Amino acid sequence: MNTMIPFHEINSSWTLFLDRDGVINHQKENGYINTPSEFEFYEGVKETIAACSLHFGKIIVVTNQRGVGKGITTNENLELIHQKMSSDIKAAGGRIDGIYYCTDINNDSLNRKPNTGMAFQAKADFPEINFSKSIMIGNSLSDLQFGKKTGMLTVFLTTTNAEPDEAIIKNADFIMDKLKSLSGMLKS
């Protein structure tokens, strides 16, 4: 880990970028979340995002969704999953300001993490986003690399990988066991 994150300094000028599967909801092992009924929030995530909504100016979800590109999941179901996720978070008092996803199969796609296309899509929609005042939270090396390439601070969640390897440790500014842990780190 390279840097400590100034959680006590976070205010409305900051942006929170979140991966979806393995961060917000349980990730399906060796598969994809294909329908809203398969989407299951981790405990405390909706309340954590509600707390983050009081601190961060923008909350953005960036997610690779190769299952659509492979024809396993439909775009329509992906939209329904995101509608359910957003409405459940809103009902808990939180908000998601933008959801960006990449359905491309090819790892060279500009929009597929670790590439930065989704970050720049978000910045085009929300010009006030400042990557140097942004935090990327994910559960994979590609999430961390996406954050690093854009100059964000990075947080690795051990939800799907309890023992991160050297590459993850090198790219993570902070490591947490679950998103819910973030709640206690933000100033009241």
d(CA 127, CA 10): 18
What amino acid occupies position 108?
A: D
The 15-18 sheet, strands edge to edge: 98-102, 58-64, 15-18, 134-138, 153-157, 174-176
CB 167 within 8 A of CB 150: no
Domain ranges of the chain: 7-185
Fold assignment, 7-185: Rossmann fold (3.40.50)
pLDDT in tens, the chain (188 residues): 556 778 888 999 999 999 999 999 999 988 899 999 999 999 999 999 999 999 999 999 999 999 999 999 999 999 999 999 999 999 999 999 999 999 999 999 999 999 999 999 999 999 999 999 999 999 999 999 999 999 999 999 999 998 999 999 999 999 999 999 888 887 65
Catalytic residue positions? 19, 21
List the one residue out of 136, 68, 64, 137 whose CA is nearest residue 101: 64
